[in-house]
């Protein structure tokens, strides 16, 4: 089974395991693609427990849509995206740093311009566990 077949199976599963993140504004061109785990999609789309969470996750959505729309992506220690320490694992993080609390979206590339966003953590949680 190809990776594309597996993605399609997860998108069509009941319950849905992955969803293609589409820009909030209909008709916005998609030059890259992000598939998000159901857990992340719920946070991106709401409902939210508080206004603070709604604002935070709308900013995360905007950060992810920048990737989808083909915006310039800076890669590296202080960039938008960074590959984590064990390069052979090919795990990347997208850094959503504004406003606080900052959020890290973790995932991997299925192929060029197709990112699989499979998990997230608030930056503070990572610091508390000794990750920097």
Per-residue confidence (pLDDT) for residue 86, from 0 to 100: 73
Give the structural domain span for 16: 3-128
Per-residue confidence (pLDDT) for residue 15, from 0 to 100: 87
Per-residue confidence (pLDDT) for residue 10, from 0 to 100: 92
Per-residue confidence (pLDDT) for residue 89, from 0 to 100: 77
82 contacts 95 by C-beta, under 8 angstroms: yes
Q: What domain count does the chain have? A: 1
Alpha-helical (H) ranges within the chain are: 3-12, 38-45, 51-68, 123-128
Per-residue confidence (pLDDT) for residue 1, from 0 to 100: 78
Token reading at 96: 């959503």
- Residues of the chain short of pLDDT 70, as ranges, are 87, 125-132
State the number of CA atoms in the 13 A half-sphere of 42 facing the CB: 11
Question: Which residues are CB-contacts of 60 (< 8 A; sequence separation ≥ 6)?
Answer: 43, 44, 96, 103, 105
């Amino acid at each position: 089974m190809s990776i594309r077949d597996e993605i399609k199976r997860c998108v069509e599963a009941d319950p849905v395991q992955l969803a293609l993140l589409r820009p909030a504004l209909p008709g916005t061109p998609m030059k890259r693609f992000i598939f998000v785990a159901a857990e992340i999609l719920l946070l991106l789309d709401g409902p939210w427990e508080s206004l603070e969470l709604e604002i935070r996750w709308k900013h995360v959505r905007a950060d992810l849509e920048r990737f989808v729309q083909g915006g310039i992506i800076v890669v590296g220690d202080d960039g938008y995206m960074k590959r984590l320490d064990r390069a052979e694992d090919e795990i990347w993080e997208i850094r959503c740093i504004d406003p606080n609390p900052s959020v890290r979206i973790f995932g991997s590339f299925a192929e060029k311009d197709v990112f699989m966003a499979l998990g997230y953590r608030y930056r503070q949680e990572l610091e508390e566990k000794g990750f920097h």
